[in-house]
Amino acid sequence: MPDENQRRFDEWTRVHRGLLFKVVRAYAFTSQDQDDLLQEIAAQLWRSVPGFRGDAAETTWIYRVALNTAISWTRKEHKHRKGAQSIEGVEPILQPAPTPDLRVDWLYAQIRELSEVDRSLTLLLLDGFSYREMAVILGITENHVGVKVNRIKAYLIHQSKRDSNHET
């Protein structure tokens, strides 16, 4: 069974790596913080492996773990900084893409302006999750999700219009 858990964890971190990167990028803004958060998420993901029964899709489960961890981590971020050891000269775990996509960067900049819970909803919205799935992942009602998602959609569309007007 431990081998099976190890295999599943390896597979998750390999196949769904992109999902973890999205959460990390949305919640942590410096290289050190991004490394720290990724480690925290990976640790929680490892702990969650024995609890995965296959009732939910793997992506739903991984998103659930990653978002809950990211929100908790944000809460404790100042403590991490206090106790953080200097890692100058140490290669970071996460290395930014060599040729960044400016449109993706713009999206993350908008997400960064949102509250912690709204950031989670935005990630799930952009990845095409249903209201029901979002409600299950965050532990809130579907109605509440609906209200919040409508506000987020309006916000993102408004921001895109505003910025495209500025560009023109």
Report the distance separating Cα 120 and Cα 64, nearest Å.
9
Among 7, 81, 112, 161, binds other proteins (CB under 8 A): 161
Contacts with other proteins, 88-117, as mask; x by CB under 8 A:
--xxxxxxxx--xx-xx--xx------xxx
Task: Give the residue among 54, 48, 49 at the shortest CA–CA distance from 8.
Answer: 49
- CA 40 from centre of chain: 12
Among 28, 33, 63, 65, binds other proteins (CB under 8 A): 65
Task: Find tokens 């993706």 and name the residue.
Answer: 104
Residues with Cβ < 8 Å from 105, sequence gap 6 or more?
A: none
Among 8, 21, 59, 77, binds other proteins (CB under 8 A): 21
DSSP state of 51: G
> 50 with 5: CB under 8 angstroms?
yes
What is the contact surface with other proteins in residues (CB under 8 A)? 17-18, 21-22, 24-25, 34-35, 38-40, 42-44, 46-48, 51, 64-65, 67-68, 71-72, 75, 90-97, 100-101, 103-104, 107-108, 115-117, 120, 125-128, 136-141, 143-144, 146-148, 151, 153, 156-157, 160-161, 164
